[in-house]
Structure 1
Amino acid sequence: MAFSFGQVFIVFVAAVCTIYYTGQAPKFMKLASEIVTGKKGCVPVRDIDFVTIHYFDVRGRAEAIRLMLEEAAIAYNETNFTMDTWPEAKKKGVASGIYTFGQVPAITMSDGTSLVQSQSIAQYIGRATGMQCDCESLHYCDVLARGAEDFRSKMSKILYDPAFSRDMRNDYIMNTAPMWLTYFEKLAPSLHKQETAPYFADDHLTWVDFIVFDLLDANVEFAKYDMGEPLISILDPYTKLNTFYKKFQAMPRVAAYLKSPRRRPYKIPKTPPPRVKPAST
């Protein structure tokens, strides 16, 4: 039995209206996107073949980017700077347009595309690799990422303070970090969810998971960095965060990178001078 064009059109319109008015449109569009592109997440972009990271030879704000490239098995190299070589490199990079705001990290790709701002870079890599957040959770991912940046800035503030001291370190470990870790513990996936999907957003790995892991890792390393003060296992009181941290570390490609010579050692800008011992009487 043949159907006329008009009949087919009416059925199509009815199906579209049903999807729309039953609130299933986002799910339908998500499924269609995954079928067409083979990638999870909102508005995927084309694959990335090769990346050059422009940054200093430290972990810093480039580490989450490195972790994402490792997990996605994307080949990359680095252009690293020292404090002596950076001023001239910055001048050239600003002139060429690669360092849009005179800052790094920046990345350049084999197709000529360049990007700056660490979280924007991470999100773009997520879109290219199926590690982007779903469209309906973009706002939540943005909240998590911006919160992570606020938390990160608290550590940066003291580390780059010319007057950085052991007392400042201890105040951060005992007061600032616990406050922010408590915030993130509330947002962390439940232990039940982490049994099958240990992710902060959606049911799959996203760029936000890398941002949060890198943030937690920086705090873990800082708390156990030997400055002559008591070393702290800073995540122990936070069961959900600690579970997420350990599960993320155990992902095969991430674990291989963390154990490899490609992983930079943890450093801080300067170690504060030792405490002055009171004179003996």
Structure 2
Amino acid sequence: MPTTKIFGTESAANKAIGGIPTIHYFDFLSRGRGQVVRLMLIDAGAAYKDVRYSFDEYPEQKQTGVIAKMNPTGNVPIVEMPDGKILTQSYPILRHWSRLFGAYDGKTEEEKYFADVICDIVIDWRTLFLAAFFSANKAEDYPKHKSGKRKHFLDALERHLKSNDLSSRGPFVIGKEITYADLVLFQIMHDEELTRDGKKELQNYPRLAQLASAVEGRPNVKAFLESDAYLG
């Protein structure tokens, strides 16, 4: 059976998005596409209900269970809203909530575009990361990924952030204001364990390290990372 917990206290942020959402996702520590959905709610100060499925029980849920009933693709995360609306696909959920919050999405078309660019790069990176991490031959495939494709994406993102006029204004993707793209980028760096041990694996990527530190330093995120709710 999936585990269910409620985190946070209902706030104005919940009112903005239509109440307390229920997030259906894997029991995958504080990682993955579903975690970045939680992370936005945490940063915004919104309460949420967290339903976690083990990897063993997920196939049945995907075939005939509650997940199959809520999402035709059988994929998670799935967000259930109090009015019965079902939200699917991580990054569209983030963009949708950004518009409802009136934040996290940039103010100008240039800012919105660049946030989307960074997010799309991370989507490509995450696809390759998951293929290597969950490979039947992980012992060989994941080290190859780290020295190959992962390095390629780190190099590209570092260059983007260093060369873009918006990024030069502050620690985040578009400067001083955080966007959903910062959360997406932070989450993949976290999941690849690049934010551990003083970010030593980001020592050749100072701009990415700066962004990760800026996300970690946000009050609600910092409190979460120091709490029992953070599972690693």
TM over 0.5: yes
Q: For structure 1, which runs of at least 5 residues remain unmatched after alignment?
A: 1-38, 40-44, 225-231, 266-281
Aligned to 1:201, the other structure's residue is in SS state: coil
Q: For structure 2, which runs of at least 5 residues remain unmatched after alignment?
A: 1-12
Aligned to 2:52, the other structure's residue is in SS state: strand
The answer to whether the Cα contact below 8 Å between 2:166 and 2:175 also exists between their aligned partners in 1 is no
Distance 1:136 1:106, change over 3 A: same
Aligned to 1:69, the other structure's residue is in SS state: helix
- The equivalent of 2:81 in structure 1 is 109
What's the TM-score, normalizing by structure 1?
Answer: 0.67
Cα distance in 2 for residues equivalent to 1:258 and 1:247? 13
Cα distance in 1 for residues equivalent to 2:61 and 2:190? 29
Distance 1:94 1:256, change over 3 A: closer
- The equivalent of 1:245 in structure 2 is 212
- The equivalent of 1:92 in structure 2 is 65
Aligned to 1:50, the other structure's residue is in SS state: coil
Cα distance in 1 for residues equivalent to 2:65 and 2:126? 29
Amino acid at match of 1:183: A
Distance 1:191 1:254, change over 3 A: farther
Distance 1:238 1:142, change over 3 A: same
Length, aligned pairs only: 213
Aligned to 1:54, the other structure's residue is in SS state: strand
Aligned to 2:148, the other structure's residue is in SS state: helix
Cα distance in 2 for residues equivalent to 1:168 and 1:88? 28
- The equivalent of 2:34 in structure 1 is 62
Q: 1:176 aligns with which of 149, 171, 174?
A: 149
- The equivalent of 1:201 in structure 2 is 174
The answer to whether the Cα contact below 8 Å between 1:51 and 1:74 also exists between their aligned partners in 2 is no
Offset, 1:125: 1.9
CA RMSD of aligned residues (A): 2.8
Offset, 1:46: 4.5
Offset, 1:193: 7.2
Aligned to 1:188, the other structure's residue is in SS state: helix
Offset, 1:66: 1.1
